[in-house]
Structure 1
Amino acid sequence: MTDVQSSVSTDPYILMEIIRLQTEIAKQGLDLSGVVQAVVERIPSFTNAEGAIVEYTEGDEMVYRGASGFAAPLLGTHVKREASLSGLCVRLGQVLRSDDVVLDPRVDAGPYAEVGVRSMVVAPLKHDGSAVGVLKIVSTSTHAFTARDVRVLELMSELIAAAMYYAARNETSALYQQATHDSLTGLANRSLFFDRLRHRVSPGRRQLEPLGILIVDVDRLKRINDTCGHRAGDAAIREIALRISRIPRKSDIVARLGGDEFGVILGEISERSDLLTIVERVSEQTDQPFRFEGRTMHLTASIGYARFPEDGNDVDALLEVADRSMYEMKRKRSTRSTPAQQTTQEQLF
């Protein structure tokens, strides 16, 4: 192991990638969800991994709070701690490796079959002396990982654990808040959105209730950033978040999915007309001018929607329908805009 540690510490490429990742983590500050996403996106670039996952221990379950690469569809998945390699990693507090998850009795292979995971390495994330989750790298090949990959994962898990410590300020409730909410808007983040959506449409539920989902994409945010600066862009995002949040009931979930995209989960949508009414109300709220530091900016948003179970029985099917309708709305708006209208809109910022 000493030779492996030495090779990792002297490999200039790995050292540079670790430094880059440390810089990215520092930029995220107290945004723990941002830290998690930065790690899962970056770590496959300097290991043999094709994807990476961060799971948190929540009660008797492990919940996927970050995922990248081919494992991205697993975001929001719940598995039982006692029946998973991740749960064993948390219990033992040590790095574990599975060279073939299909043949490994320690692994609950159920979630991995749909995306094709065949091997993995799991490292504990320790917070305030105890493991509160795991960092995992995965591959579609068996025997994909080496001792060097294991050492890199150990180093990365220490980085995340340190970020978790400072972000959560030693409080479990704060840790959960940081892991599941967007720091800019205070809304639920992508992880919590998929967590709740998967739970609501899970075939394992005793009673499946009809629900609606919205995908809201802010139009021309890049233009606002380029023209008025990122402070104006951030202010616009916060304003859109506030406007969307006025519409649903408290029991509904409003989330920032990333960048200029928001998601809404609407319960008790018994009729399609109820969903269309909410779409209209959100559109009216978002399509209003916004003033920032004495300047008026024209805000609009394209909204896609889907209803469960009418438009699909699982998360992927519902999102596909919602995305399609969102892009159709965006296309129609673009077609209707005349050059004169576009000039008028541009003058607003």
Structure 2
Amino acid sequence: MANFRNVPTEQASTPKTRILNPALATAAWRGFVISHSPEIRPALRVGFGLAIPGTALLFLGRADLMVYAVFGSVVGMYGRSPHRMKRLKDQVLAGTMMLCAGVTGIVIAPWGMDGWELLAGGIFWACTSSLTTDRYGLKPGGSFFPVFAFGALASLPVGQSPSMAGLAAFVFTALFCIILGQTARFGSASRGFPGHDPIGWPKALRRAACYASVVLLAGTLAIGLQLEHLQWVMAGSVVPLAAGNARGRLSRGVHRVAGTVAGLGVLLGIYYLQLPELALGLVIIALMFPTEGYMTRNYGLALSFFTPLIMLMLELADPSVNADVLWERASGNMLGVLAGILGAQLFDRKPR
């Protein structure tokens, strides 16, 4: 029989005892926060950037305006520099980019644009936002958020005139996120994020041309197949281009598809609960926190939260949405991703 009398007390203690030790538990939590602080701090900033305006809209009985607030809160995703002035510059520039794309969509929404007209707008904002993010080194890079904001807001059923209440919610949330960004404090942990590396004009123009070609390819396929919800195809097509090489684009595309499928599963679970409108609005707010928290750490996992978020916000804006429409949107998004991977190989073979 083994002799345990000489075994040190620390080794003889059971794992359960060590886990329940308050000091060790506090140290473990502190270690978790430190190791995740580069993700937690921006996630809290972006989450509260939507939570405060979004909660105000819910209490005002305007859950239908949540879609505008969500796109306004995207401005908070930009500008993670520990230096306030650099962060302010990045957020003002990103805010201008997002506001121009979103306001354009809001203004043309009453026209009910679709097909080639909507595609032309998507190509324009894909090029413009690509040039902006590349030339000024904005993170996250690429054109996804401006293109999606333009297409989604331009496709909302608003009647004969633009939604002025939606415009106000969109602009107010974006400005609020810029102000909130100046109150946030980022320590040295923030330096772990990708730096700001502006790209020269020749390479930036080549990248913008690639974005235009990919969106054109994806949109042409969607129109030729008579698919509705062209805005989802355009948004999905620019996702793979944010990666730097063929392998990265394929990986990002796979993450996009996997995250979308997982997100649809989460969405079905939410639908099963049959939550009232107010509760759905709170779910949208809650989903923004993990979306931003995992965006740089695990893109696919982040999309499993982002997919139900965008589906729910668009449903609140247009209650006529049903299961068929949701599936069409998801399938259009996946078609766009595949077209983006193919288009990147055709139009931008040179690795970056």
TM interval, shorter chain, is under 0.3
Bigger proportion of residues as helix: 2
Q: Report the TM-score when normalising by structure 1.
A: 0.25
TM-score by length of 2: 0.24
> More relative contact order in 1 or in 2 (CA 8 Å, sep 6+)?
2
Give 1 or 2: higher strand fraction.
Answer: 1
